[in-house]
């Protein structure tokens, strides 16, 4: 294992940014904020939940009695379709110092299943495959709209990550411009392809698999690893084994592989502190504007905030906000801990 036990910087080739790693700080005592342990006693159905089957949402809309995934337009969307916006170009600032442009889009919610109490690692392989197919179908449908250039699939899990409803669900925002983070990665991957004649993540994955020290799990379609440049304590990236740009490029078997690796990684997350592990997760894929993005390689980021226990989290403050990201726990140590965990969910073990 890499043994850089002194402060050092690591380069993220996907964003072309640096992260400060300070391994010695992992031994410091913690007297900061302690979070409440999230509750685990959710019912299978909650009559007050606006995402459960048959319940009423905003505006009197009633959910169907769905039995698999359920998709609907967000009742409180962050972006609006062009026809929903009363355009007033004269109101836009006429100065490069006050730049503003309209942003159009469609925001949707994807409920994973009718069960209010089951997250991704507790669903069956078939149920998670249905979720992946839904993400894929939504990417294809929304990406075909003339005002959409990028489809962002993501999940905020847990109140700690700002999730407003505990019913397991994800979101999809299809927007008219490529957002900041995917744009940085697209530019870096395009530049790498130009300079090296090969795919950045294909080359990176080959090296990570050869070394093995940051790889957590893999199957025939995807590899799960803690990135060399990880910022969050137990950050994980899922990388497609075959060079593919988007969810819509996956074969039937690769959809199964993706569902499998998601279930396995999220089970390890939950088993780490024996809680429903919070995180923000999202796919980075090619824009949907018909352009050629030969360097783009499909991958998934998991950004979980927990650091030492179920009640101690990592905060991005001070130096991180004003200078650059910093972490104490090395990616190699984080990978070793995650790799040593069972993929059988702790709640199933306790119930046996």
Supply the pTM of this predicted model. Answer: 0.95
Residue 316, strand partner residues: none
Is 9 exposed, middle or buried, given 0-12, 13-18 or 19+ CB atoms closer than 10 A?
exposed
Dihedral of CA 164/140/284/274: which sign? Answer: positive
Mean pLDDT across the chain, nearest whole number?
92
Q: Of residues 296 and 100, which shows the higher confidence score?
A: 296
Q: Which of 81-95, 120-134, 257-271, 303-317 has the lowest mean pLDDT?
A: 81-95
- Number of residues assigned to the chain: 352
Q: What are the pLDDT digits (tens) for 67-125?
A: 999 999 999 999 999 999 877 766 777 788 888 888 999 999 999 999 999 999 999 99
Residues 298 and 245 sit within 8 Å (Cβ to Cβ): yes
Q: Which of 178, 254, 184, 173 is CA-nearest to residue 219?
A: 254
Report all structural domains of the chain as residue ranges with CATH numbers, in order of start. 11-85+100-351 (3.30.428.10)
pLDDT at 30 over 50: no
pLDDT at 4 over 80: no
Is 309 exposed, middle or buried, given 0-12, 13-18 or 19+ CB atoms closer than 10 A?
middle
pLDDT at residue 36, rounded to an integer = 57
Q: Which of 155-159, 197-201, 287-291, 311-315 has the lowest mean pLDDT?
A: 311-315
pLDDT at residue 38, rounded to an integer = 63
Catalytic residue among 116, 167, 169, 345: 169
pLDDT band at 29 (very low <50, low <70, confident <90, very high): low
Residue 80, strand partner residues: 104
pLDDT at residue 59, rounded to an integer = 85
pLDDT at residue 31, rounded to an integer = 46
Structure tokens at 260: 């499998």
The CB-side HSE value for 293 (13 A sphere, CA atoms) comes to 26
Q: Which of 4-13, 127-136, 146-155, 305-314 has the lowest mean pLDDT?
A: 305-314
**Which DSSP symbol is given to 312?**
E
E-strand ranges in the chain read 8-12, 17-21, 70-73, 105-111, 150-157, 169-175, 215-218, 222-225, 236-240, 279-284, 299-303, 306-309, 312-313, 326-327
Q: Is residue 169 annotated as part of the catalytic site, yes or no? A: yes
């Amino acid at each position: 294992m890499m043994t850089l036990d002194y402060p050092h910087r690591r380069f993220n080739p996907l964003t072309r940014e640096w992260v400060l790693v300070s391994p010695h700080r992992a031994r410091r005592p913690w007297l900061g904020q302690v979070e409440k342990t999230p509750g685990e006693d959710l019912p299978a159905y909650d009559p007050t939940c606006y995402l459960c089957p048959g319940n009423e949402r905003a505006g009197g809309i009633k959910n169907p009695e769905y039995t698999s995934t359920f998709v609907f337009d967000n009742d409180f969307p962050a972006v609006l379709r062009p026809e929903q916006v009363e355009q007033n170009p004269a109101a836009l600032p006429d100065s490069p110092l006050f730049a503003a442009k309209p942003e159009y889009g469609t925001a949707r919610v994807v409920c994973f299943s009718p069960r209010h109490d089951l997250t991704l690692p507790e669903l069956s392989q078939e149920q998670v495959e249905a979720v992946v197919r839904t993400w894929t179908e939504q990417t294809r449908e929304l990406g075909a709209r003339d005002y959409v250039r990028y489809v962002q699939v993501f999940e905020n899990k847990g109140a700690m990550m700002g999730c407003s409803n505990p019913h397991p669900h994800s979101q999809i925002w299809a927007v008219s411009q490529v957002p900041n983070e995917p744009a940085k990665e697209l530019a870096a991957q395009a530049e790498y392809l130009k300079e090296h004649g090969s795919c950045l993540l294909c080359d990176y994955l080959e090296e990570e698999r050869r070394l093995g020290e940051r790889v957590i799990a893999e199957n025939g379609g995807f590899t799960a690893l803690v990135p060399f440049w990880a910022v969050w304590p137990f950050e994980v990236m899922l990388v497609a084994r075959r060079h593919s740009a988007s969810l819509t490029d996956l074969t039937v078997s690769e959809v199964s592989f993706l569902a499998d690796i998601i279930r396995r990684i999220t089970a390890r997350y939950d088993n780490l502190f024996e809680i429903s592990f919070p995180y923000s997760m999202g796919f980075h894929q090619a824009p949907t504007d018909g352009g050629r993005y030969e360097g783009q390689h499909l991958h998934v980021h998991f950004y979980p905030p927990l650091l030492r226990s179920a009640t101690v989290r990592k905060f991005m403050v001070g130096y991180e906000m004003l200078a650059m990201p910093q972490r104490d726990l090395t990616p190699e140590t984080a990978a070793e801990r995650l790799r040593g965990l069972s993929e059988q969910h702790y709640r199933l073990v306790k119930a046996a």
